[in-house]
Amino acid sequence: MLTRKGEIAMVYIKRAAEETIERVSKMFPVLLVTGPRQVGKTTLLQKLAETEKQSGIERKYVTLDDPDARYLAKTDPAMFLQRYSPPVLIDEIQYATELLPYIKMRVDRSKRKGDFWLTGSQVFRLMEHVSESLAGRVGIVNLLGLSDAEICQTPSEPFSTDAERLMNRLSVVKPRGLNEIYRRIFKGSMPELYADENVDWEIYYRSYVDTYLQRDIRDLTQVADEMQFYNFMTVAAAHTSKPVVYEELANAAGVTAPTAKKWLSILVSSHIAALVQPYYNNVLKRVVKMPLLHFLDTGLAAYLLKWGSPEALERGAMSGAFFESYVFSEIYKSYLNAGKEPPVFYYRDKDQKEIDLLIYQDGVLSPVEIKKAASPGSAAVKNFTVLEPIAKPKAFGGLETLKTEIGTGNVICMAEDLLPVDEKNWFVPVWLI
């Protein structure tokens, strides 16, 4: 990125969502990029605005972090939009949602695509206003932290278990060992940690949590005690890759179950965590219907839980849970960066049989097991057989249309190479996903 004289230049990391954002901007008059704080929303849009200049488009920029700009936006939205007329990039739109009805009137008059680019980090506050004011006029792109594809600058594509796709990736992705993978898991996904090697990991995440608590959580009436919410975040981090039992979370955090449910929804809506819903249909009668919790930034989870190094994390009791959440977040981001809703589920039944991840696309359900082991063995796919009834029309009373095909299965693990388990399933090195 360009800097003023005397400043240290920050490295710009090309984002996988760039093409998605450009495509959405050409489809809608308003583009909204949402996501957690500090994942690079503004940097990405400013970089794309620089590219626009080459075709003669001069896009204004204003941030509502600026108290003067925020005051004008809240007290006189019409004047604000005269001062910052489109095309314009408005940063942190959640601080002045009063602008949204005026933006609606502007785009209804002009009908030009891509006039307004907006960013917002307080998604739980913002989306209600957006859906009320800009329905049908706004394209939304969710941006999370860096993916491995972005860090390594390799091709990014929505994850699938297809063996041919995985074989093709062997030629473009560099193998990594256990220590390198856990350094990545420990470091997390925040762009600043990769753009500037001088940033201290612990100081960065401490500042990040303080900002999140003081600027986002303080604004929410349902959170009266920031430190109690911080304690709840820590408890949630300790439950990453586990099914959600609200009473369990509540007891560990010292709050009521309804409060735990409300606070977890805040973590989810602000993209700190994700809930994976169980896969269910009428044939699979014994499915447990609890969602599964994953922290989306393993570095943040490691900070909250006071892990001091990648080596300690790799040897520790939560090593497998962090590995699973890391794999999930990589797969999850691969869909978001392509502008797609992640088609992810998981399976768990009352007999304690589990499948870590299910990818459901085009009538095909593909099972994924996640194991830290280098040689998990064929037993890793034994639970895949619980899905067999959904592939049989007789199970649905002979209705062919309700049948679901079972796709290629993957065991994502620390294997050194892509290898078949059997004719239907593959061992997949984690660095290949």
The whole-number pLDDT of residue 220 equals 59
The whole-number pLDDT of residue 402 equals 59
The whole-number pLDDT of residue 175 equals 95
The whole-number pLDDT of residue 357 equals 97
In three state form, how does the secondary structure of the chain look? CCCCCCCCCCCCCCCCCHHHHHHHHHHCCEEEEECCCCCCHHHHHHHHHHHHHCCCCCCEEEECCCHHHHHHHHHCHHHHHHHCCCCEEEECHHHHCCHHHHHHHHHHHHCCCCCEEEEECCHHHHHHHHHHHCCCCEEEEECCCCCHHHHHCCCCCCCCCCHHHHHHHCCCCCCCCHHHHHHHHHHCCCHHHHHCCCCCHHHHHHHHHHHHHHHHHHHCCCCCCHHHHHHHHHHHHHCCCEECCHHHHHHHHCCCHHHHHHHHHHHHHCCCEEEECECCCCCCCCECCCCEEEECCHHHHHHHCCCCCHHHHHHCCCHHHHHHHHHHHHHHHHHHCCCCCCCEEEEEECCCCEEEEEEEECCEEEEEEECCCCCCCHHHHHHHHHHHHHHCHHHHCCCHHHCCEECCEEEEECCCCCEECCCCEEEEEHHHC
- Residues of the chain falling short of pLDDT 70: 1-10, 122-129, 219-224, 282, 285, 393-403
